[in-house]
Amino acid sequence: MSTGRDRTWLTRYHKERRKNILAGPGPHEFVLVLDQLKAGFNVPKIFRSAEAFGAAAVHLINIGPFDPAPAKGSFRKVPAVFHEDFGACYQLLSDQGYRFFQLRADAETPLYEVDFPARSAFIFGHEEFGFSFGQDSYADIEPLAIPQFGSIHCLNVSNAATIAMYEYVRQFN
């Protein structure tokens, strides 16, 4: 049973999603691909960082409604592209000339060792279940890691996305 609070954020989501169709790309060509993330807190936080770093768009794969309040208005400013599966997103971005980077804690190549092309697509998976696709099906996706030195080798996905965006922007400014 939904509560009044649930209905409030759901109403806000639909209102903000309608406004999102007017969103324009930021000054950079990179995009984020959010692959089946939990719709809760992380998705709007990623929109907030995407707006701050000037992302061209955020692609959402099989992600349902979320409370846009933590995005602080960024959900209406950064174009959101919704997909039901990764294959459709991959094909669209491939046709547009994007190079793909998958952020993984177990990757051997550190994020800072790659010279990113202007059209970079950063893919982030579900924190518990990972990615919805097999790496073997997409051999051109380059796995990258954010070096970590603590005992927990997994950053919160919104923090990892922010670090990847920062590194991209650092290289282009």
Query: pTM for this one?
Result: 0.94
At 2 the pLDDT is 54
**Cα 147 to the chain's mean position, in Å?**
19
Count of CB atoms within 10 A of residue 171's CB?
A: 14
At 173 the pLDDT is 84
Percent of the chain with pLDDT over 70: 96
Beta-bridge partner residues of 61: 35, 83
Mean pLDDT, residues 3-23: 86
Mean pLDDT, residues 12-26: 93
pLDDT in tens, 152-165: 777 899 999 999 99
At 127 the pLDDT is 85
Q: Which range (43-47, 53-57, 74-78, 134-138) has the least confidence?
A: 134-138
CB neighbours of 166 closer than 8 A, spacing ≥ 6? 53
DSSP 20: H
136: confidence class by pLDDT, cuts 50, 70, 90: confident
Number of domains in the chain: 1
Q: Decide if 28 contacts 55 (C-beta within 8 A).
A: yes
Mean pLDDT, residues 80-100: 97
1: confidence class by pLDDT, cuts 50, 70, 90: very low
pLDDT at 170 over 90: yes
Mean pLDDT, residues 118-131: 94
CATH number for the domain that contains residue 64 = 3.40.1280.10
7: confidence class by pLDDT, cuts 50, 70, 90: confident
Domain extent, residue 41, equals 4-172
